[in-house]
Structure 1
Amino acid sequence: MPPRNDPTARQQRLGSELRKLRERAGLTASAAGALLGADQARISNIEAGRVGISAARLRTLAGHYDCTDQVLIDALAAMAGGRGRFWWEEYRGVLPNGLLDLAELEHHAVKMRTGQTATLPGLFQTVDHSRALFQQAMPPLPPHEVEHRVSHRIKRQVVLHRDHLLDYTAVIHEAALRMQFGGRNATRAQLEHILALSERDNVTVLVLPFEAGVFPAPGQTIFYATGPVPQLDTVQIDEAHGPVFLDSAGKLETYRSILDRMEALALKPEKSRDFIRDIAQSL
């Protein structure tokens, strides 16, 4: 099978973790290939996410790398294999790959946290709010792409409603709550939607009011996806060109600390609901 031209972020992450294991074992790609009955090019392609690897062969490699962390090996084995036919694949070639990677990250997360200053979390957005946002994109998006992005964003929200509940904590700054995307009625409906979600057992909404003062990383959108093992945690931040995914130990620690600080400064859940309710009633 020829190498993939467009490996997903998840496939690239699997390859990156295998490279880390190989390097810790002090093996070259050529030596690792020999142990697996393959050449250096195949190992390099696996580590770049361009070529897949079966769970069985991954476990064989981990054994050659003297990895004894069985929980990590099991988590990596679960990432192995083909891309699969998940719902976001219908958008491949239609939307930027980064948006599909984000949906895949959310799908496989075991816990999620976000900190938002100027926009509302995509997992909370209504159709009207989402459409108003995409209609203001620069450069302007054609109407059909706006609708594709809206439908993709709404379908992502299934992760909050599946049978196996996923804990999601969102810190939202007052500025984001007061922006009237789509007009007063759409904004009121959007805030009421957030209030309804905040009543779910797996959803925690915390408001960071103006009066809280300064806080770390103002203006930045932060999404932290907890993986099945700490080594597979991922941070996603928004850039002008699309989602950026970070997974170095230093970056993970930095963004965990930022979110911890934001949560400490925010109102408690019940007061946050009252705060959102007051804004909605004032519209």
Structure 2
Amino acid sequence: MARIKLPPTIRQRRLGAELRRLRERADLNATQAGALLGSSQSRVSSIESGAYAVSADRVRATARAYGCTDSPLIEALAGMTGGRTRGWWDEYRDILPPSMLDMAELEHHAQAMRIACVIHLPGLLQTRDHARVIISAVEPPLSPPEVEHRVSYRIKRQAILYGEQPTPLDTIIHEAALRMDFGGPDVARAQLEHLLSLSEQEHITVRVIPFGSGAFPSSGQAIVHLSGEVPHLDTVELDTDHGSEFLDTQPQLARYRSTLDRMATLALTPTESRDMIHRIAQGL
């Protein structure tokens, strides 16, 4: 039986995209780059699409041939090689959309994360019951098994917050998201108590933007900033109605870093935020 070739992961695609950017910065087309590297135009194109795995040494040689002198970036790119690493999320490959699997892979490799939410609470901080209510409300409606698959997937993603080296997480949550009362008082109260418990963890920061804080640069969609091995390799994920949108160009990254920074200036301190979450939970 022929072995099924799996599509490139988002990490492989990002490596290829960064090598393409280095080539373009060197003012080389793919044919010229192939000649410079002792390869071919088709091989260069395959590498840049993430379809052809390359070694760490090959990445270093390619980056230097393109005139890159940023050693930390070169080493970070070299660290993204090694072929296709299978993760727990591959169990869901025939069940969930590819963008959802991409998100789990990005979270797995992130050095740190910043999240800003206005309407919904971050998926990484949701309880199972809260997640089920949210997922059950999507359009078009999902079947009960599909809902449970997505709920279990969301809960498994939260493993990055636990263990010996949990991922640092800084969240900004608007007061509106705390007051949505999804699932009724019992589910909402349990969710807020869970959020309070997590906010006590050393590696998790929760800050609330209260009503009346003024305008801020967000359309209401969740913003997730995932830190790479070096800032150049950061990624922003926007949670849109049509699914996840991943951004990784330097202007895009700069824009959303600035957006998160501006939102942070409107937020309460972590202690003040915990007090507000506690008051809202008591009022349910």
TM-score, normalised via structure 2 length: 0.95
- State the Cα distance separating 1:3 from its structure 2 match: 11
Letter in 2 for 1:130: A
Q: Secondary structure at the match of 1:238?
A: strand
What residue number does 2:40 align with? 39
Q: Is the 8 A contact 1:4 1:50 kept in 2?
A: no
Distance 1:199 1:134, change over 3 A: same
**Kindly, what percent of the aligned residue pairs are identical?**
56
What residue number does 1:51 align with? 52
Does residue 91 of the first structure (1) align with residue 92 of the second (2)?
yes
* CA deviation vs aligned residue, 1:165-205 (integer Å, no higher than 9, x gap): 32211110111111122221111110000000000011000
What residue number does 2:140 align with? 139
**Separation of aligned partners in 1, 2:263 and 2:246:** 21
**Separation of aligned partners in 2, 1:262 and 1:50:** 38
Does residue 164 of the first structure (1) align with residue 165 of the second (2)?
yes
**Separation of aligned partners in 2, 1:52 and 1:3:** 16
Letter in 2 for 1:214: A
* CA deviation vs aligned residue, 1:235-265 (integer Å, no higher than 9, x gap): 1001222100001111111111111111110
- State the Cα distance separating 1:5 from its structure 2 match: 6.7
Q: Is the 8 A contact 2:221 2:240 kept in 1?
A: no
Q: Is the 8 A contact 1:3 1:50 kept in 2?
A: no
Q: Secondary structure at the match of 2:96?
A: coil
May I ask how many residue pairs the two structures share in their alignment?
A: 283
- State the Cα distance separating 1:73 from its structure 2 match: 1.1
Q: Secondary structure at the match of 1:211?
A: coil
Q: CA RMSD in A?
A: 1.7
**Separation of aligned partners in 1, 2:182 and 2:239:** 19
* CA deviation vs aligned residue, 1:48-83 (integer Å, no higher than 9, x gap): 112221212112212222222221111111111222
Letter in 1 for 2:58: R
Does residue 72 of the first structure (1) align with residue 69 of the second (2)?
no
**Separation of aligned partners in 1, 2:79 and 2:144:** 38
What residue number does 1:208 align with? 209
What residue number does 1:121 align with? 122
Q: Is the 8 A contact 1:3 1:51 kept in 2?
A: no
Letter in 2 for 1:185: D
TM-score, normalised via structure 1 length: 0.95
